[in-house]
């Protein structure tokens, strides 16, 4: 098992999954890691909709533009933002789940639900709630993943440390933005 620091810096999205189902106790641990994320004033303005069957994942996948991982996954979790919730908090819960999953050998990929109205309709989420993101989970199919990564067009890796980290004051010349 990786040490916690390597798990954090080494977390890469996985978009190819084996058909093996994720056992219920592992699913529970992943969700519980999300539940234990910190939130603004500890308001926990979130709910996690668990999609265990393929039909429900395929339905939700119609609500985004790059949802192939959700179609291939063996588990989906939609992140619902309750009224007055914050995207920052939703992101923390999501990252907790993804890191916990990685610690348990499960791969994951965030999924944007570009058509949020579609996502809310599909899942029965009320109008004044948000549902912009989901996470696809599954045991990694590393051979398929290697082939997928070899074909990828997006740049991999990360920006250099000095471009991202600004000491004391923002440096517009270094930000690349
Ligand atoms: C907010 C957010 C939304 C994302 N939406 C999608 C998506 O809809 N489909 C997808 O395949 N990947 C999605 N990703 C995954 C990113 O493409 C991925 O995090 C990025 O390429 C870095 O990958 P790496 O950590 O493996 O280097 C999303 C990531 C984030 C953080």
Mean pLDDT of the chain: 96
Give the integer Cα–Cα distance in Å for 177 and 18.
38
Give the integer Cα–Cα distance in Å for 12 and 21.
21
Indicate whether 155 pLDDT > 90: no
Which atom of ligand 1 is closest in space to residue 11's alpha carbon?
Answer: 25
Are residues 139 and 106 in contact, defined by beta-carbon separation less than 8 angstroms? yes
Confidence band, pLDDT 50/70/90 cuts, at residue 177: low
Give the integer Cα–Cα distance in Å for 5 and 83.
34
From edge to edge, which strands make up the β-sheet containing 75-81?
46-51, 75-81, 130-138, 107-112
**Which of residues 63 and 152 earns the better pLDDT score?**
63
What would the mean pLDDT of 105-125 be, rounded to a whole number? 98
What would the mean pLDDT of 134-147 be, rounded to a whole number? 97
What would the mean pLDDT of 121-140 be, rounded to a whole number? 98
Indicate whether 173 pLDDT > 90: no
**Integer CA distances (angstroms), 32 to 22, 49, 97, in order:** 15, 13, 8
pTM: 0.96
Indicate whether 175 pLDDT > 80: no
Query: Ligand 1 pocket test: which of 15, 93, 102, 112 has the largest number of ligand atoms within 8 Å of its C-beta?
Result: 112
Indicate which residue's Cα is closest to atom 18 of ligand 1: 13
Query: Ligand 1 pocket test: which of 10, 111, 138 has the largest number of ligand atoms within 8 Å of its C-beta?
Result: 111
Q: In order of start, what are the domains of the chain with their CATH numbers?
A: 14-141 (3.40.109.10)
What would the mean pLDDT of 9-21 be, rounded to a whole number? 97
């Amino acid at each position: 098992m990786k040490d916690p620091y390597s798990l954090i810096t080494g977390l890469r999205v996985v978009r190819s999954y084996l058909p093996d189902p994720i056992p219920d106790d592992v699913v529970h641990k992943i969700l519980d890691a999300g539940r234990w994320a910190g939130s603004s004033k500890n308001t926990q303005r979130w709910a996690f909709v668990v999609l265990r069957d393929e039909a429900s994942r395929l339905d939700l996948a119609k609500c985004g533009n790059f949802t192939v991982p959700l179609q291939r996954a063996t588990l989906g979790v939609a992140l619902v933002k309750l009224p007055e919730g914050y995207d920052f908090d939703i992101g923390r819960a999501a990252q907790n789940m993804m890191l916990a999953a990685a610690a348990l050998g499960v791969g994951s990929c965030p999924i944007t639900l570009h058509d949020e109205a579609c996502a809310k309709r599909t899942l029965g989420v009320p109008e004044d709630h948000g549902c912009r993101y989901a996470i696809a989970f599954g045991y990694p199919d590393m051979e398929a993943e290697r082939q997928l990564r070899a074909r990828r067009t997006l740049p991999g890796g990360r920006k250099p440390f000095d471009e991202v980290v600004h000491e004391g004051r923002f440096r517009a010349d270094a930000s690349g933005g």
